[in-house]
Structure 1
C-alpha cells in the first residue's frame, strides 16, 4: 500500500500539515503539534517556522483542493 502525504481536511488547527503527517505515520496529531511548539520555543525556531510555511504551500490538501 502506497502512503502519500496530504494536508488533513479533518485534523486541522492552522493548515492541516501536522494533521496530515500524523495521519500518514499513524500518530496522534496533538503529540506532533506539542513537539512542534516546544521546538519552536526552545530552539532557534525561524527555520522550522519557514519549513512549516513551505510545507503548507507545497503539500496538497486531500481530495485535490488547493
Structure 2
C-alpha cells in the first residue's frame, strides 16, 4: 500500500484528495466528489481539509545526483 503523501501532480487544491485516493486505491475524482458532498452536511470538513493540507507531507521529487 502507498504511503500517505500529497502528490506533486494531479493536485487541484493542495493535493489532499489525490493523496488520500492514492493511499486507499481510489480514483481522485471519487474522493473529490465525496468531499464536496460532505460539505452539504454540518461539520468541520473545511478545517479538517486544511489540517490535512498542513499535516500530510508533500511528495518528494526524485532528484538524483550523478
TM-score normalised by the chain length of structure 2: 0.83
Higher share of residues assigned helix: 1
- How many residue pairs are counted as aligned between the two chains? 61
Cα distance in 1 between the residues matched to 2:28 and 2:3? 17
Contact 1:11 1:20 in 2 (8 A): no
Runs of 4+ in 1 over 2 A off after TM superposition: none
| Bigger CA radius of gyration | 2
CA RMSD of aligned residues (A): 1.5
Q: Which runs of 5+ in 1 are unaligned?
A: none
Among 38, 42, 49, the residue aligned to 1:52: 49
Q: 1:28 matched to which residue of 2? A: 27
Q: Which runs of 5+ in 2 are unaligned?
A: 62-66
